[in-house]
Chain A
């Protein structure tokens, strides 16, 4: 009796194990995707719409979210070691370094309505003529300014860097805790990108045509000087600022202007968090010898070793498509937004009600400048970040910083 009971138990356990194992294998092959995602506000937007996709397609999406500072590291480690991700949400500078591990999409893209993508956003997912990713969330640097304050002083929105400096000076009143411009000066990557924006507009390049570091030039120095001059009109704690602190300075009404990624404008317009919602105007970033708003498109790519490439493609086309774009724009995010790369969404009159900066976003995307498309770019940008941090912390002079940036770039590129 006892033996029989034991036998039945063993058979039952084996049956359950087989059923569970077999079932999971079949499910995993066709109906489940592991998605590497940016944690936080963009994740919230995605999660709000994800049930629709899962219901429509029967594909289960397991979201593995990581904060911005860790996302590239996680994706690089996972992809290079044959890891578990099927689909990946990638900042555009990561596409070239990780292209080795990504599925080329040229053939699949032909089936899409390519004309509906803002052209520069589609380029964000390409590298050396191959499309590795689709655009999901187009971002670009724009100028946000206090319309009400500018009207009071009878000033026009700044079109040039000289105008910007003059306006920053005019609104700067530290005694009243009012500052000309919100900008980061910490070791955060945004600091390096602000400086690069000013240098680009003067005609400088991070890397020249021969593939060597080229920031240590008259134009690079001029841009660096403008950046350092702007810091004089920033809040006193800008040396500790991050992306979110720039938004906060605007929300609290402390700063009259900010150069910020367009996605940062969404929280500035959130009435529950911002004292200046509805009082802001948006424009292209200032120009000097040229106008070069920096492009920063979040894209979606498929791992080359994914066993679920067709399901991954379905997901990629959904998340870069119109329906998700419309839903994302309407999502009441208090922190930021996912925009849409679709012309039909960005130009939809209804979009402006949710994104008051939609015109500035669309307009800036037309002329946006991309960062160098190199496999080594992640290292080059890290070198730029660290050196810009040393400059603002007073460890280096501008001349020494520019030399160090170029030396680092050349070392990374083996020049």
Chain B
């Protein structure tokens, strides 16, 4: 018992670190969000209470940014989930020629996001980009990937997917690898089809892993900044202006109160989404009747 008590002291450095790098800045951000604080007017900082928060719901740019962020997050995570799961199921077949490809699949994970986004900016370039070159050879024209409002949102979601599918694949592939083989053998003996094996064995057993992967990627996609900033900067118009881009603009112009308020609202929104997903993950599953 005493040893257990002593062991708790080993948590102290970690807690102190967490306090210093997370909680103190968070408290400072919360404090700043209650002020009208514009960096170009350092002698005119005024307490405004909740005003920075209360103006957000009535600001059409902010509400649109919330919608764009939700659409981007949902679209990107859906593509990543479906592709990641599909690849994991494919690679779980242990086909020998797939092994070397597995390494290649992981390459996007090692590319610095800004570098990756810059590379895609060149690929998407309407006139000199390689994508439109091949599309035009096929007679498919030269789509304005980043300058059409709808296509731009799709394009940034696809680039996010390119970078994150390997992560989804890795997590779900690892999950598949540890599933008990007996259940699949039993299902095969009972004459279950491939779809039935997936529907009634794989999916329920992999549900926790899937939810965890979606949770992690959902949080990441919600906070996505670098890819969007490099590819479209939030344009055309406000078609790809997410909450993060809006926040960057507020910080860039020196509106510290507003920017911190936007940051904390983002944190709250992410926390709500996480809470819902974590509840789903931790909910005890009903055991089917024998």
Give the complex CA separation of A98 and B42 in angstroms: 11
CA distance A235 to B147 in the complex (A): 12
What residues on A are CB-neighbors of B234 within 8 Å? 187
Residues of B within 8 A of A237 (CB): 126-127, 142, 144, 147
Question: Cβ of B251: which chain A residues have Cβ within 8 Å of it?
Answer: 73
Hey, which chain A residues are within 8 Å of B238, CB to CB?
386, 389-390, 393, 395
Tell whether, in the assembled complex, residue B144 and residue A100 are in contact, meaning their CB atoms are under 8 Å apart.
Answer: no
**A377 CA to B147 CA in the complex, in Å?**
27
Closest to B240 in A: A187
Q: What is the minimal beta-carbon distance from A234 to any residue of chain B, in angstroms?
A: 12
B1 at the interface (CB under 8 A from A): no
By secondary structure, the A interface counts as helix
Question: Is B113 part of the binding interface, using a Cβ–Cβ cutoff of 8 Å?
Answer: no
Also in contact, A240 and B233, with CB within 8 A (given A100-B42, A393-B239)? no
Q: In the complex, which of the residues B61, B126, B127, B235 contacts A187, with contact meaning CB atoms closer than 8 Å?
A: B235
Q: A389-B237, A393-B235, A393-B237 are in contact. Are A80 and B144 (CB under 8 A)?
A: no
Residues of A within 8 A of B236 (CB): 186-187, 239-240, 389, 392-393
Decide yes or no whether A77 CB sits under 8 A from chain B. yes
Q: Does B75 contact A (CB under 8 A)?
A: no
| A97 to chain B: closest residue by CB | B40
Q: Binary interface profile of A, 284-314, with partner B (CB < 8 Å = 1, else 0)?
A: 0000000000000000000000000000000
* CB nearest neighbor in B for A187: B235
Q: B146 at the A/B interface (Cβ < 8 Å)?
A: yes
Task: Assess A392 versus B237: contact at CB under 8 Å? Given A237-B126, A239-B144, A382-B249.
Answer: yes
Is B254 engaged at the interface, CB distance under 8 Å to the other chain? yes
- Determine if B108 is an interface residue (Cβ-Cβ < 8 Å): no
CB neighbors of B among A385-399 (8 A):
386, 389-396
Encoded as 1 (CB less than 8 Å from any B CB) or 0, chain A from 358 to 397 comes to 0000000000000000011011001000100111111110
Q: Nearest chain B CB to A209's CB is how many angstroms away?
A: 23
A375 to B235, CA, bound (A): 26
* A396 and B61 alpha carbons, distance in the complex (Å): 13
The 8 Å CB contact of B144, one of A76, A77, A240, A386, is A240
Which residues of B are found within 8 Å of A379, using beta-carbon distances? 253
Nearest chain A CB to B63 CB, angstrom units: 14
State whether B237 touches A73 (Cβ < 8 A): no
Hey, what's the 0/1 contact readout for B120-147 against A, CB within 8 Å counting as 1?
Answer: 0000001100000000000000101011
B187 within 8 A of A: no
Complex: chain B residue closest to A239, CB-CB: B147
A46, B7: Cα distance in complex, Å: 59
Q: Does B252 touch A at the CB level, under 8 Å?
A: yes
Bound CA–CA A252/B128 (angstroms): 11
Cα distance A248–B251 in the bound complex, in angstroms = 32
Q: Which B residues are in CB contact (< 8 Å) with A252?
A: 127
In the complex, chain A residues whose CB is within 8 Å of the CB of B40: 76, 80, 97-98, 100, 375-376, 378
Whether B175 sits at the interface, judged by CB under 8 Å, is: no
- The interface residues of chain B, by DSSP majority, are classed as loop
0 or 1 for each of B142-154: is its CB under 8 Å from A? (1 = yes): 1010111100000
Asked if A80 meets B42 with Cβ closer than 8 Å, knowing A187-B235, A389-B238, A390-B238, the reply is: yes
What's the Cα separation between A76 and B37 when bound, in Å?
A: 13
Q: Using an 8 Å CB-CB cutoff, how does the interface string of B226-251 with A read, 1 for contact, 0 for none? A: 00000011111111000000000101
- Of B39, B142, B144, B236, the most chain A CB neighbours within 10 A belong to B236
Tell me the nearest residue of chain B to A82, going by C-beta.
B42
- For the complex formed, measure the closest distance between the CB of B118 and the CB atoms of chain A, giving whole angstroms: 12
Q: Determine the chain B residues whose CB is within 8 A of the CB of A80 once the complex forms.
A: 39-40, 42, 254
Per-residue interface assignment for chain A, residues 8 to 50, with 1 indicating a CB less than 8 Å from any chain B CB and 0 otherwise: 0000000000000000000000000000000000000000000
Contacts A237-B147, A240-B147, A382-B249 given; does A77 touch B39 at CB 8 Å: yes
A187 vs chain B, min Cβ distance (A): 3
Contact A236 B144 (CB under 8 A): yes
Measured between beta carbons, the chain A residues less than 8 angstroms from B149 are 393-395
Residues of chain A within 8 A of B233, CB atoms compared: 69, 187-188
Assembled-state Cα–Cα distance A395/B64 (Å): 12
Q: Is the CB of A378 within 8 A of B253?
A: yes
Chain B: CB-nearest residue to A381: B253
CA distance A237 to B124 in the complex (A): 12
Assembly CA distance A69 to B234 (angstroms): 13
Interface members, chain B 23-61 (any A CB < 8 Å) = 39-42, 61
> Known: A187-B233, A187-B237. Contact between A240 and B254, CB under 8 A?
no
Q: Does A227 contact B (CB under 8 A)?
A: no
A150 within 8 A of B: no
Chain A window 232-249, contacts with chain B (Cβ cutoff 8 Å), 1 for yes, 0 for no = 000111011000000010
- The answer to the question of A72 belonging to the interface, with a C-beta cut-off of 8 Å to chain B, is yes
Give residues in A with beta carbon < 8 Å to B.
Answer: 69-70, 72-73, 76-77, 80, 97-98, 100, 186-188, 235-237, 239-240, 248, 252, 375-376, 378-379, 382, 386, 389-396
Can you list 19 pairs linking A and B with CB atoms under 8 Å apart? A72-B252, A77-B39, A100-B42, A236-B142, A237-B127, A237-B142, A239-B147, A240-B144, A240-B236, A382-B253, A386-B238, A389-B238, A390-B238, A392-B237, A393-B238, A393-B239, A395-B149, A395-B239, A396-B237
7 closest cross-chain pairs (CB), A and B: A187-B235, A393-B237, A240-B147, A237-B126, A239-B147, A73-B252, A393-B236
Known A-B contacts: A187-B233, A389-B235. Give 18 more (CB < 8 A).
Answer: A69-B233, A73-B252, A80-B39, A80-B40, A80-B254, A186-B235, A186-B236, A187-B236, A235-B127, A237-B126, A240-B126, A375-B41, A378-B253, A379-B253, A382-B253, A386-B238, A389-B236, A393-B237
